[in-house]
Amino acid sequence: MSTLITWLRDPNPASRLQSKLGQSYLSWLRLRRNPLAMIGLTISLALVLMAVFAPLLAPHDPIAQELSRRLLPPGTAGNWLGTDDFGRDILSRIIFGSRITLYIVLLVILTAPVVGLIIGTIAGYFGGWTDEILMRITDIFLAFPKLILALALVAVLGPGMENAVLAIALTSWPPYARVARAETLTVRNSDYIAAVKLQGAGAARVIWGHVMPMCLPSVIIRVTLDMAGVILTAAGLGFLGLGVQPPLPEWGLMISAGRKFLFEQWWVATMPGLAIFIVSLGFNLLGDGLRDVLDPRSTSK
């Protein structure tokens, strides 16, 4: 372990890999000093572990109904967070629900930032009319009310998880395009780009191999900060019955199911909401901390 750390802290790295890992190690040390960010990291990791090991962690089947045990309050032996109106264990449903939440988040962050990255780098690299047209389209999408557009899209496409993901992705790429374009503008006239061009690289190669990697850090920070927003939008769509369909244990859907007996059996709606809140807070804390560490502009006091 200590040799690894010495290797990482070596001021004269022998390879590019060592230098990169050393940099990441220093960022990690800075991140570790921020307690809120560490809480965020813990929550995010816990979510991933919960999703991966859901079948092992959950005490009950999330979908199996047991009508003799319906609407039991939290603290009941065997059902620590209580049961819903079909007698399903709320804790198990929350644990399995983490899979759906993570799946939606992954699908969105694998599409929207990529689209934004491509549009932003192309606009920034070519400039002129290409830039003008692409950025005008971006601005139009940016000026839209996001949630309402997503609602209208899902209304047309039909409710369901994939369509909800599509609607969220379609409304969340513009900020990434803006970020990527701004980064591209700062590197496009630098010497190393000129050198690559002189070696005969085409536009696609320059953008893909030499511009995009430079945009990645800013885009990644933005992704972490946006993840909570994606979770909240997906839950909102689920709550309105436009996202994931029953009997799947999606958290937003569970809240809307618990709404009917909010005043008598408060836990049915409260527990999944707490899960959404904790997970979003985790991503937000992590994103906030990451930005402080990775973004040189925000560290200056």
Q: Which is nearer to other proteins, 4 or 262 (CB)?
A: 262
Does 46 sit near other proteins (CB under 8 A)?
no
151 binds other proteins (CB under 8 A): yes
Q: Return the C-alpha torsion angle 282, 283, 289, 293, nearest 10.
A: 140
- Spatial CB neighbours of 261, under 8 Å, sequence gap ≥ 6: 71, 85, 268
Q: If you search the block for the tokens 């609607």, which residue do you land on?
A: 167
Binding other proteins by CB under 8 A: which of 18, 266, 292, 294?
266
Binding to other proteins by residue 21, rule CB under 8 A? no
Does 129 help bind other proteins (rule: CB under 8 A)?
A: no
Nearest to 251 by CA among 108, 87, 93: 93
Q: Give the CA diameter of the chain.
A: 76
228 binds other proteins (CB under 8 A): yes
d(CA 70, CA 218): 48
133 binds other proteins (CB under 8 A): no
Q: Which of 47, 90, 102, 153 binds other proteins (CB under 8 A)?
A: 153
106-123 burial: b if 16+ Cβ within 10 Å, else e: ebbbebbbebbbbbbbbb
SS3 89: strand
Q: Do 268 and 84 form a contact (C-beta atoms < 8 A)? A: yes
- Write down the least CB distance from residue 217 to other proteins, Å: 20
Q: Which of residues 272-301 bind other proteins (CB under 8 A)?
A: 273, 276-277, 280-281, 283-285, 288, 301
What residues between 229 and 258 interact with other proteins by CB under 8 A?
A: 232, 235-236, 239-242, 252, 255
Please state, in angstroms and rounded to a whole number, the distance separating the CA atoms of residues 100 and 89: 17
Examine residue 166 and tell whether it contacts other proteins (CB under 8 A).
no
| Beta bridge partner(s), residue 79 | 76
Binding residues for other proteins, rule: CB under 8 A, are: 36, 136-137, 139-141, 143-149, 151-153, 155-156, 158, 228, 232, 235-236, 239-242, 252, 255, 259, 262-263, 266, 269-270, 273, 276-277, 280-281, 283-285, 288, 301
